Amino acid sequence: MTSLIDIRDLHVRFTSGASEVHAVRGVSLSVAEGESYGLVGESGSGKSTVLRAVCGLAPTSAGSIRIAGKELAAPRPAAFYREVQMVFQDPYASLHPRHTIDRVLSEPLAIHGFSDRETRVERALEAVGLGKGFRFRYPHQLSGGQRQRVAIARALILEPKVLLLDEPTSALDASIQAEVLNLLDRLRAERGLTYVMVSHDLAVVAHMCERLLVMQHGQGIEELTRAALRARAATSSYTRSLLEASRGYTAA
């Protein structure tokens, strides 16, 4: 498999007045086409900021991000969002409360000039296990799991190659988490998608990702394969402490 996402020596700094936060410090990683890659670490480790930098939602102060060999321009051109989409942690916050699901799904199609909107909306809802009956409901009329399915449908409706998944199940009950993770697994297999998934949950990462990068204080500490994670074969003391703290998790 060829490398689809290539991040080299990425730095992200946020400034507010005289203060500066160095959120990402020299992170490098490469994700193969069709792979699912995880970013794990404690809150504030910089893992979600890496995703936001890829999407153009966080400022890159140094380093490079390439998709399919092409360095990304700032700001991201419209064509970028045909290739790369993001699914956020909180499905309620990421959906406009006064827009019907039909409007939520139709807007990206209108922005990108698709003409067959109705067919694509129905197809997207079916792909995530929701029928036509959900089209004209509002987010508050859906469960948390149904809202996250809509958020996934919205990300998929432009038929991207890459999904950036920022803790996509952490706001859901455990039983619903499993349903959404299995849905994401199936969609990746069916569509040949590439995932970069942020999670603090090692069980989720072990289930979803072939490889992962452990992050701490904005830095990449250690890269592990799924097999190494399951065998608890970590070399850094920080990764070992993460594994110890999660003892009892199921790496199914």
* Per-residue model confidence (pLDDT) at position 252: 44
Q: What is the pLDDT of residues 182-217, one digit of tens each?
A: 999 999 999 999 999 999 888 899 899 999 999 999
Indicate the angle between helix axes 174-191 and 144-156, nearest 10 degrees.
20
* pTM tops 0.85: yes
Is the pLDDT reported for residue 239 higher than 80? yes
Q: Give phi and psi for 135, each to the nearest 5.
A: -55, -40
Please compute Rg for the chain using Cα positions: 18
For residue 192 the two structure tokens come to: 């040949």
CB 6 within 8 A of CB 162: no
Q: What is the pLDDT of residues 48-107, one digit of tens each?
A: 999 999 999 999 999 999 999 999 998 999 999 999 999 998 877 889 999 999 999 999
- Three-state SS across the chain? CCEEEEEEEEEEEEEECCEEEEEEEEEEEEEECCCEEEEECCCCCCHHHHHHHHHCCCCCCEEEEEECCEECCCCCCCCHHHHEEEECCCHHHHCCCCCCHHHHHHHHHHHCCCCCHHHHHHHHHHHCCCCHHHCCCCHHHCCHHHHHHHHHHHHHCCCCCEEEEECCCCCCCHHHHHHHHHHHHHHHHHHCCEEEEEECCHHHHHHHCCEEEEEECCEEEEEEEHHHHHCCCCCCHHHHHHHHHCCCCCCC
- Residues, the chain, total? 252
What domains, with CATH codes, occur in the chain? Answer: 3-245 (3.40.50.300)
CB 140 within 8 A of CB 95: no
* Per-residue model confidence (pLDDT) at position 92: 78
- Pairing, β 36-40 against β 211-216: parallel
71/156 Cα distance (integer angstroms): 23
